Amino acid sequence: MMRWVILLGVLILFISCPENPLEKFPLTETGAANLPRITAVDPANGAELKDDNPNQSGIQATVTITFSDYMDETTLTTDNIEILNTTTGSKLTGFELNYNKTGRKLYIRHEDWPDDAAYLITLKTAIKNTYGSPLDGDGDNIDDGSPYDDGLTTFYTGAGSGDLVPTDQPTITDATPPQKNNQSHLPSITLTFSTNMDTATLTTSTINLLNSDSNSVSITRVSVTPTQVTFQPTDSLDNFRKYYVVVKSSQIKASYPTHTPSYLFYLDGDRDGPEADEPDSVWYFYTDDTTGHDEPPHVTDAQKITGGVKITLDQRMDGSTITATTVRVYDETGYIPGRIVTYNDGNNGYIEYYFLRGATGKLDVFVSREATSEDGLKLDSNNNGIGGEFDDDYWKYGL
Amino acid sequence: MKYLSAILFTVSLALGYLPSSFRNLSTAGVFDDDYDLMLDPGRIPEIEGYRLYTNLSNLVTGLERPFVNQSVNYFLLGGSGEFMKHRYLGLIFDNYSLNDPLPTGLFTREGDTIFGDGEVVNTQWLDTDGDGSFDYIINDREHRSAWDRNRELNFYLGLAFGKDNRFGFGFIHEDDRLRNFDPQVNYQIEREESTLIETRLTYLKGDTLTTMDETNHARNSIIFSSWFGRESAFNLSLGLGMIQSDSLTEADGYYFEDRNPGGDTLDYVKISSGDTFHIPYSGFEIPARIGLLKKRTGGWESEYYLDFRYLSLGVTGDGARNTISMVDSTCRPGTASGYDSITTTYSGKRSGYTVRFSTRQRFTLSKRFAFGFGLSLTNSVLTDELFDSTAQSGRYAYDDGDGVSTANDSTVTYTEMEYWQKKTTSVVRSISIPVGMEFKLIEPVTLRLGARHTTTYYDVVTTENLKGFDPRKTRVEYGDGSYSEWIDDEKLQSGTREEDSPTTHKTDYYYGLGIAIGKNLQLDLMYFNNLVNLANWRLSATLKF
């Protein structure tokens, strides 16, 4: 009875406080919701897991996974963490999980890891941080969903290294011809891959050549190895024409071990990790102009002149494309309306821009990628020999 | 400032016209005249004959100075009298309207200030290339508005009947609206530049801001007052007042620069802004009084009163402040656009009560001399509590204009919130001792003197507490589909408390003259300390029938 009286007294005291101390600084909403990533694993991906208790039979060891964020401990369960013995193909059970909140470390311990085996640990996207954001397994800051954003790491015991499975998709490490002009009329279209590929998927049905009208151009596979494939057009390509190489990533597969997660087999076309709809990998090139008119214009100089600015280009320019929209000059105030004079001399084009108001401070000069030479080629500012690309605008700041 | 708030609160309950007569003011509230009786509907029957109040009565503010024609331009009409046998009427009506042009901050070519709505246009002709002829022209136009607009309408209507036992019913209406247009926030500024070489505009700038400040107060009150007896009278009064108070600010702004007006190339910045602030209070007050009046032998008259007044005002549902600023601009390269928004919602209540015990003792010692004193004990408690919840958010988008969506294109959004409670509790206790006398200098001139000593004890506690907050959370979404979020570290002052308990002592002195000119005119004078300078004299004239 006395205990109830005391409890009641404490409760009354608490309720009658003029300001409930528990009401201080309530955070009424959650904080930032960046996707959490795996920042470190021990043993490192593909390394050996060492026995930490040699005095006891079997392999006793702990795998440590460090996260970039504070994790929701309730999601770190055996339902969301899977250990696959990739030597046998069976799932491992009987492991223990512990989470260090402060260190953001997850400890996966087993008292009897099977020896001479390789393992794949899968951390599913159901694992979330304290703000409810799911795991970003491929670290691209995009929520790709499950299983594409599952966190993966591998290790082995004893002599099991041969059964390790990859944790990344295959990628294209090199490709020819490059995205430039002046390419051969009968170019070798070669793709080099980061790993051994299923050569049955490296065919003309998965790798196409299209012309500038998006029509397919016939090509022939001239050679293929597990890491490289080469095609060549069946007929000579047109003179000075734009061609596209289209690689259908979602249909090209690597030659990976059996127990590799199935979604990792497919080519990573945009090199941002696995995703549900892997986009095609596309690039383009221009064939050589045998008449010698394939060099796009470049701005070679921009300097102040009395009452304006003079811009020099290395090609004769089409004056109709040099307008107040394609050539602009700014000062501290902003745009300076100008009177534009365009002329060509020798192999060069010139633009004189006379200000219609007084200019103050440093000048910024802009020439649009839409400025076109007499040969019909657009401005090339990234110097890849192809003009008019999205990054071909010319800017000169602080003149 | 908090004392001022407490005082303003008290004053806000005052009438829209002078709350007491010149006679009452001149004698520190010890002696009343007919005007004071009229404002208590139960005592209208005690007024003998008829009274007519006009603008000469100076009963709106008491501050009008007719000898220098210094007036606040009220129209006033009122009076009292018996309209049927033992049926009485008392009425005061005043109306005021002001439309006052103020200095705009602009000047004429001669250097004279421009009032009200003003506009100045300046033109510059430039020879930028020094060839001896003008080739550039700049026009600047500036317009500003500066006004005070004030309107007041007040009236009091009292109806009473009875003789020995008197019953009165009064109705009071007060309405005060004030609008202010400050030239610093009411302007239109434009700049236009043109080249004369190609006869075209090269630059346009516009900056417009319109801001209106408005304050409204309205009160409608009824009061019932009854008096029982003549020589020994008992008073019972009860009233109800409905109060509305409203502060409103509305501001709209638009700024733009077009650096290539009419041209194909776009280079501009546009900024729109809006700010609306609105705190409406509404509520009620209940005044009540119990009084006792005793006329004793030997010219001794005693009065005892116990007053109680309860007030409750609350912020109605639409108390809010909304501020938004939107920007749309070209960059080099690309474009940017976005907004910042701040929304504050208010809720809260002002409530309190005042209890006052007062007495007046008057002695008519001879036909030429009367003396009186009083005592007033007041206890007032007011609580003013305001909650404001302020949410801030914004969104900015940048597109580098290259036609493809990459990590160089981004959209930034942010949110944050704070929730505050501000509470002021004021307890004001005062003791006031007035003394007053009237001395008939010569027939019909009466000299009035009064003094009042007041000791006031304040006990004011002001607290501000942060009840909750969300820190600023910023999210950047990039054109390639990736994103990043972060929260800012917070260092907040989460609460303050201030207690002040000052005591003030104040003695005020009053004086005045009453002149009865025949049976039909009563003149009352105050502030005539400088007899040869009539400028400060305040005069009230009442017609009697």
Per-residue model confidence (pLDDT) at position A29 = 53
A360 touches chain B (CB under 8 A): no
**Nearest residue in B to A332, CA atom:** B259
- The three-class DSSP label of residue A375 is coil
**Nearest residue in B to A339, CA atom:** B198
Check: CB of residue B150 under 8 Å from CB of residue B73.
no
| Radius of gyration from C-alpha coordinates of chain A | 32
Of the partner residues B198, B485, B486, the one whose CB lies closest to the CB of residue A339: B198
Joined tokens for residue B466: 């942060």
Burial B253-283 (b: 16+ CB within 10 A, else e): bbbbbbbbbebebebbbbeebebebbbbbeb
Compute the distance between CA of residue A21 and CA of residue A24 in angstroms, rounded to an integer: 6
Tens-place pLDDT, residues A203-241: 999 999 999 999 999 999 999 999 999 999 999 999 989
Distance from CA of A109 to the nearest CA of B (A): 33
Per-residue model confidence (pLDDT) at position A268 = 94
Check: CB of residue A122 under 8 Å from CB of residue A152.
yes
Compute the distance between CA of residue B57 and CA of residue B80 in angstroms, rounded to an integer: 14
Compute the distance between CA of residue B309 and CA of residue A314 in angstroms, rounded to an integer: 91
- Give the sign of the dihedral formed by CA B256, CA B262, CA B266, CA B267: negative
Of the candidates A326, A284, A327, A322, which has an alpha carbon nearest to the alpha carbon of residue A308? A327
- The three-class DSSP label of residue A218 is coil
Cα of first residue to Cα of last residue in chain A, in angstroms, is: 89
Of the candidates B19, B193, B49, B3, which has an alpha carbon nearest to the alpha carbon of residue B545? B49
Compute the distance between CA of residue B269 and CA of residue B337 in angstroms, rounded to an integer: 9
Q: How many residues does chain A have?
A: 399
- Count: domains in chain B: 1
Distances (CA, A) of B411 to A243, A323, B194, B335, B474: 34, 32, 37, 12, 10
A18 touches chain B (CB under 8 A): no
Of the partner residues B202, B467, B494, the one whose CB lies closest to the CB of residue A357: B202
Order of strands, edge to edge, in the sheet holding A338-345? A299-305, A308-313, A348-355, A338-345
Interface of B with A (CB under 8 A): 126, 128-129, 136, 193, 195, 197-198, 200, 202-203, 257, 259-260, 263-265, 267, 332-333, 402-404, 417, 419, 465-471, 473-475, 481-487, 494
Check: CB of residue A156 under 8 Å from CB of residue A117.
yes
Residue with tokens 């003079």: A310
**A324 phi/psi in degrees, rounded to 5:** -65, -15
Compute the distance between CA of residue B475 and CA of residue B462 in angstroms, rounded to an integer: 38
Cβ pair B195:A357 closer than 8 A:
yes
Check: CB of residue A241 under 8 Å from CB of residue A286.
yes
Tens-digit pLDDT string for chain A (399 aa): 455 544 444 444 444 434 444 445 555 555 667 899 999 999 999 999 999 988 888 899 999 999 998 999 999 999 999 999 999 999 999 999 999 998 999 999 999 999 999 999 999 999 999 888 999 999 888 899 999 999 999 999 999 999 999 999 999 999 999 998 889 999 999 999 999 999 999 999 999 999 999 999 999 999 999 999 999 999 999 998 999 999 999 999 999 999 999 999 999 988 889 999 999 999 999 999 888 888 899 999 999 998 899 999 999 999 999 998 899 999 998 899 889 999 999 999 999 999 988 889 999 999 999 999 999 999 999 998 899 998 999 999 999
Per-residue model confidence (pLDDT) at position A23 = 46
Residues in A touching B137 (Cβ below 8 Å): none
Strands B335-364 and B369-399: antiparallel
> Which DSSP string do the residues of B104-151 spell out, in sequence order?
EEEE-TTSPEEEEEEEEEEEEEE-TT-SSS--EEEEEEEEEEEEEEEE
Contacts of B113 (CB under 8 A, 6+ apart): B103, B104, B106, B107
Joined tokens for residue B178: 């004030």
What string of H, E and C letters represents the secondary structure of A225-241?
Answer: ECCEEEEEECCCCCCCC
> How many C-beta atoms surround the C-beta of residue B518 within 10 A?
8
**B34 phi/psi in degrees, rounded to 5:** -60, -35
> Residue A188 carries which DSSP code?
-
Distance from CA of B133 to the nearest CA of A (A): 15
**Nearest residue in B to A390, CA atom:** B402
> Residue A83 carries which DSSP code?
E
Strands B495-500 and B445-478: antiparallel
Residues in A touching B257 (Cβ below 8 Å): 334
Joined tokens for residue A63: 């795998």
Cβ pair A357:B193 closer than 8 A:
yes
Residues in A touching B475 (Cβ below 8 Å): 32-33
Tens-place pLDDT, residues A2-56: 555 444 444 444 444 344 444 455 555 556 678 999 999 999 999 999 999 888 8
Check: CB of residue B212 under 8 Å from CB of residue B249.
yes
Per-residue model confidence (pLDDT) at position B27 = 93
Joined tokens for residue A103: 């260190």
Distances (CA, A) of B424 to A25, B259, B312, B386: 21, 52, 15, 9
Compute the distance between CA of residue B237 and CA of residue B257 in angstroms, rounded to an integer: 66
Walk me through the domains of chain A, giving residue ranges and CATH numbers: 38-163 (2.60.40.1220), 172-286 (2.60.40.3710), 299-396 (2.60.40)
> How many C-beta atoms surround the C-beta of residue A94 within 10 A?
10
Cβ pair A142:B257 closer than 8 A:
no
Residues in B touching A397 (Cβ below 8 Å): 332
Compute the distance between CA of residue B151 and CA of residue B98 in angstroms, rounded to an integer: 6
Chain mean position to CA A18: 57
Cβ pair B332:A366 closer than 8 A:
yes
Tens-digit pLDDT string for chain B (545 aa): 333 333 333 333 334 566 778 889 899 999 998 888 999 999 999 998 899 888 777 666 665 555 555 555 667 788 999 999 889 999 988 888 888 899 999 999 999 999 999 999 999 999 877 888 898 999 999 999 999 998 888 889 999 999 889 999 999 999 999 999 999 999 999 999 998 888 888 899 999 999 999 999 999 999 999 999 988 999 999 999 999 999 999 999 999 999 888 777 678 999 999 999 999 999 999 999 999 999 988 889 999 999 999 999 999 878 999 999 999 999 888 999 999 999 999 999 999 999 999 999 999 999 899 999 999 999 999 999 999 999 999 999 999 988 888 889 999 999 999 999 999 999 999 999 999 999 998 888 999 999 999 999 999 999 999 888 888 899 999 998 888 888 888 777 788 999 999 999 999 999 999 998 888 888 888 877 666 666 667 778 888 88
Contacts of A326 (CB under 8 A, 6+ apart): A367, A368, A370, A371
Burial A161-192 (b: 16+ CB within 10 A, else e): bebbbbbebbbbeeeebebebebeeebebbbe
A333 touches chain B (CB under 8 A): yes
Of the candidates A205, A374, A172, A377, which has an alpha carbon nearest to the alpha carbon of residue A286? A377
Cβ pair B257:A334 closer than 8 A:
yes
Compute the distance between CA of residue A143 and CA of residue B86 in angstroms, rounded to an integer: 89
Check: CB of residue B114 under 8 Å from CB of residue B146.
no
Q: How many residues does chain B have?
A: 545
Check: CB of residue B205 under 8 Å from CB of residue B199.
no
Compute the distance between CA of residue A88 and CA of residue A257 in angstroms, rounded to an integer: 12
Cβ pair A393:B469 closer than 8 A:
no
Of the partner residues A34, A140, A324, the one whose CB lies closest to the CB of residue B263: A324
Distance from CA of A392 to the nearest CA of B (A): 9
Compute the distance between CA of residue A379 and CA of residue B135 in angstroms, rounded to an integer: 35
Check: CB of residue A209 under 8 Å from CB of residue A217.
yes
Cβ pair B260:A337 closer than 8 A:
yes
Test the A interface: residue of B192, B331, B400, B402 with most A CBs within 10 Å:
B402
Residues in B touching A141 (Cβ below 8 Å): 482-484
- Give the sign of the dihedral formed by CA A379, CA A381, CA A383, CA A389: negative
- The three-class DSSP label of residue B401 is coil
Joined tokens for residue A291: 């008449």
**A199 phi/psi in degrees, rounded to 5:** -65, -20
Compute the distance between CA of residue A116 and CA of residue A100 in angstroms, rounded to an integer: 30
Q: What is the mean pLDDT of chain A?
A: 90
What domain range is B184 assigned to?
A: 2-544
Angle at B498 between CA B497 and CA B502, to 5 degrees: 160
Cβ pair A357:B403 closer than 8 A:
no
